[in-house]
Amino acid sequence: MQQTGRCLERHILFNCPCEPIKIIIFLLWHSSYNLHNPCSYSSYNSQSPEGRKGKMEEQVEMVGKAFVDHYYHLFDNDRPSLALLYQPTSMLTFEGQKIQGTDNIIAKLVQLPFQQCHHVISTIDSQLSSFAGGILVFVSGTLQLQGEDHPLRFSQMFHLIPTVEGSFFVLNDIFRLNYG
Amino acid sequence: MEEQVEMVGKAFVDHYYHLFDNDRPSLALLYQPTSMLTFEGQKIQGTDNIIAKLVQLPFQQCHHVISTIDSQPSSFAGGILVFVSGTLQLQGEDHPLRFSQMFHLIPTVEGSFFVLNDIFRLNYA
């Protein structure tokens, strides 16, 4: 049962045409299902603390990866839709420039001096920020701009906070290019 | 408020890398049992394990040169996120390595900060 669940998760994560944000919600439902279902609760409880911690770590990794896929897919294909991932309290520091709130953040991102871009992600590291389910995601990769010969290297970190609807929003966002 | 967050971020970064480059075991004072480090993808938890990892890195002497420091409040009881980029010069190596690192600092009752979350990545060409 456990293994079938995991195969299903991977299938949905990589093959499902539904919006990735629904995948995040599915993963949260799946993890809460495991905690509250009487059958799996006893098996969860009978696991060692190390086993439980490992499962939790896995879930944090999965949320981080699902979020990164979703975020850069939107960035590269439908930048205004990133608005759904921010709130009035969100903070972005973009190459040292500080911006607060959905409207200002989206205004900055859509006004960046390129139309088309493509992010290629090299590394994703995720950790629990330990407050009510917050997750820190640290990303590195390259950014190919249309018409440019060489891709730019970048690093970015996100602090994701759970919403009441069972999704996440970006509270903290810091972006830096990595120059040669 | 923003200025204070920036000042704490810079002061922490100076302190952290000074210790790293000159007295690595003393970094133990900046971590607690709940601290988490992900070092080049390897996950490590708790002061003892983290310091063991850092002192066992395959170089004796190193020197960090910091290029950028970005700080933001993490909005939980005074927590601060600090995002750093720079270079790391190892003794005997010709070329410095580029790296990025993020810290999540949590205030302590004594009025200082400890590192709850720490993620380190080299930036390869």
Structurally, how many domains does chain B consist of? 1
Question: How many whole angstroms separate alpha carbon B82 and alpha carbon A41?
Answer: 38
Task: Give me the pLDDT at residue A179, please.
Answer: 84
Task: Give me the pLDDT at residue A46, please.
Answer: 60
Task: Give me the pLDDT at residue A14, please.
Answer: 38
Task: Give me the pLDDT at residue A53, please.
Answer: 72
Q: Tell me which of A4-8, A167-171, B68-72 is least confident.
A: A4-8
Helix%, strand%, coil% for chain A, nearest 5: 45, 30, 20
Q: Is B4 on the interface with A (CB under 8 A)?
A: no
- What ipTM does the predicted assembly reach? 0.96
Task: Give me the pLDDT at residue B46, please.
Answer: 97
Which of B118, B95, B1, B66 is CA-nearest to residue A176? B66
Inform me whether the pLDDT recorded for A1 exceeds 70.
Answer: no
Cα distances from B29 to residues B17, B45, B51, in angstroms, run 13, 15, 10
Task: Give me the pLDDT at residue A26, please.
Answer: 52
Decide if A178 and B123 are in contact by the 8 Å CB cutoff. Answer: yes
Residue percentage of chain A with pLDDT more than 70: 73
| Residue range B43-71: mean pLDDT, rounded | 96
Comparing alpha-carbon positions, the chain B residue that sits nearest to A180 is: B125
B50-78 in b/e form (b: 16+ CB < 10 A) is: bbeebeeeeeeebebebebbbbbbbbbee
Domain boundaries, position B85: 2-121
What CATH number is attached to the domain comprising B100? Answer: 3.10.450.50
Q: What is the pTM of this model?
A: 0.85
Task: Give me the pLDDT at residue B122, please.
Answer: 96
| Residue range A43-71: mean pLDDT, rounded | 83
Question: How many whole angstroms separate alpha carbon B76 and alpha carbon A153?
Answer: 31
pLDDT, tens only, A98-142 = 999 999 999 999 999 888 999 999 999 999 997 678 999 999 999
Inform me whether the pLDDT recorded for A81 exceeds 70.
Answer: yes
Neighbours of A46 (CB within 10 A): 9
Q: What are the phi and psi torsion angles at A110 (to 5°)?
A: -75, -20
Decide if A129 and B76 are in contact by the 8 Å CB cutoff. Answer: yes
Task: Give me the pLDDT at residue A41, please.
Answer: 42
> Do β-strands B113-122 and B36-39 pair in parallel, antiparallel, or remain unpaired?
parallel
Residues of chain A in contact with residue B76, where contact means CB-CB under 8 angstroms, are: 129, 131, 134
What does the mean pLDDT of chain A come to?
81
Task: Give me the pLDDT at residue A73, please.
Answer: 98
Query: Any long-range contacts for A113-121 (C-beta under 8 Å, 24+ apart)?
Result: A114/A145, A114/A146, A115/A146, A116/A76, A116/A145, A116/A146, A117/A75, A117/A76, A117/A143, A117/A144, A117/A145, A117/A146, A118/A76, A118/A143, A118/A144, A119/A72, A119/A75, A119/A76, A119/A143, A119/A144, A120/A144, A120/A151, A121/A68, A121/A72
Q: Tell me which of A42-46, A92-96, B91-95 is least confident.
A: A42-46
Cα distances from B90 to residues A91, A97, B58, B59, B118, in angstroms, run 35, 32, 10, 7, 21
Contact between B90 and A145 under an 8 Å Cβ cutoff? The reply is no
Inform me whether the pLDDT recorded for A25 exceeds 60.
Answer: no
Contact between B121 and B40 under an 8 Å Cβ cutoff? The reply is yes
Tell how many helices (H) and how many strands (E) occur in chain A.
5, 6
Task: Give me the pLDDT at residue A94, please.
Answer: 98
Decide if B72 and A131 are in contact by the 8 Å CB cutoff. Answer: no
Decide if A171 and B43 are in contact by the 8 Å CB cutoff. Answer: no
Kindly indicate the confidence band of residue A18, based on its pLDDT and cuts at 50, 70 and 90: very low
Residues of chain A in contact with residue B98, where contact means CB-CB under 8 angstroms, are: 178
| Residue range A19-44: mean pLDDT, rounded | 46
Inform me whether the pLDDT recorded for A31 exceeds 50.
Answer: no
pLDDT, tens only, B65-116 = 999 999 999 976 899 999 999 999 999 899 999 999 999 999 999 999 999 9
Scanning B54-83 for CB atoms below 8 A from A yields 68, 70, 72-76, 79, 81, 83
Choose from B36, B102, B120 for mutation: most chain A CBs within 10 A.
B102
Decide if A93 and B72 are in contact by the 8 Å CB cutoff. Answer: yes
| Residue range B57-68: mean pLDDT, rounded | 94
Closest CB to B70: pick one of A96, A130, A131. Answer: A96
Kindly indicate the confidence band of residue A28, based on its pLDDT and cuts at 50, 70 and 90: low
Decide if A176 and B74 are in contact by the 8 Å CB cutoff. Answer: no
